[in-house]
Amino acid sequence: MHCQNLESIEMHNGVEIIEDQAFYNCISLRGIKLLGVRDIEFGAFNNCIALVDVKFGDKLDRIGEGAFENCNSLSNIKIPKVRVLGIDAFFDCDELKHVELSEDLVRIGRRAISNCPLLRRIAIPLKYDLFNANEEDMFDDCPNLFQIDPIGGIRQTISSLLLKSWTSEMNDEIDRINRELPYTDPDYKTALIQQWIVTVLERMEHYKSEHYALLKNNMTQLELALWKVNLPNVDAATSSRHEARVTCGANIIIPHVLSFLNDEEEFPTVRDNPL
């Protein structure tokens, strides 16, 4: 705290927690490496006004309240892994322009990224309840926020949809936010982003349901066609439907052609939320 001449910090892998206000007001601090850190607590780097380079590791779980508040020289933040972004975590970072968060993120606290007048882009996962519906001040005083990029499995899921019209509609809905943000009053940007996330997820759930229903219908049609083609080869005395499926070939073709029906992990969900 108040280390006026400290310019850089590199934490070894044994350091898991940066405690409350540990480096508060270290005004000469320019670079930090936190590769093994799991928890950054309240105000840990608050008012480190010269800080320009922060490297986070893949063990990070939580960035606490006001941890990087008033770090006025930060321009880019990339966090490869984090679950919780606390209240005011990057509040009042005047030079912050780009923020890329983790697909593991499940919660963004109030004003975590607000009062950042130069902020232009945020990359976030699309999840229900990522931030509270009543938190209308999430992106307050971020008038230049024009771009939201979804991260995680959403694009992969969309590309797996069975019909091109579904894929096209979903991609258009995802891109809609970046068409509307530049023309949205700064006071309503948060509400627009909240509504957009819910709309994207709900439509995705709908098309996933339709996707599976259509695939299963196609599987049934395929099996019936195989039965019809091979009907003369099916012994009337066949003792079970399973034996008939073996005889007509459905037991071989269907599992291989549509094997992914037996494993929904091949078609990733977007509603999963660890909370």
**Single pTM value for the model:** 0.78
* CATH architecture for the domain at 8-152: Alpha-Beta Horseshoe (3.80)
Q: Look at 99 and 240; give whichever has higher pLDDT.
A: 99
From the centroid of its chain, how far is CA 138? 17
Report pLDDT for 137: 76
Say yes or no to pLDDT of 55 above 80.
Answer: yes
Residue 78, strand partner residues: 100
- Give the containing element (helix H, strand E) for 39: strand 39-40
pLDDT of residue 269: 43
Whole-angstrom CA distances from 211 to 107, 153, 171, 200, 262 are 30, 17, 16, 16, 14
pLDDT tens sequence across 88-130:
999 999 999 999 999 999 999 999 999 999 999 999 999 988 8
3-state class (DSSP) for residue 141: coil
Q: Quick one: CA dihedral 131, 135, 140, 145, positive or negative? A: positive
Paired tokens of 212: 């599976």
Compare 261 and 42 and report the one with higher pLDDT.
Answer: 42
Distance CA 52, CA 131 (A): 27
Q: Residues with Cβ < 8 Å from 116, sequence gap 6 or more?
A: 90, 91, 92, 93, 94, 96, 141, 142
- Which two tokens mark 32? 């930090």
Domain spans in the chain, listed from the N-terminal domain onward: 8-152
What pLDDT score was predicted for residue 87?
A: 93
pLDDT of residue 275: 31
pLDDT of residue 13: 82
Query: For residue range 186-232, what is the model confidence (pLDDT) as tens digits?
Result: 888 988 999 999 999 999 888 888 877 777 776 666 666 665 665 55
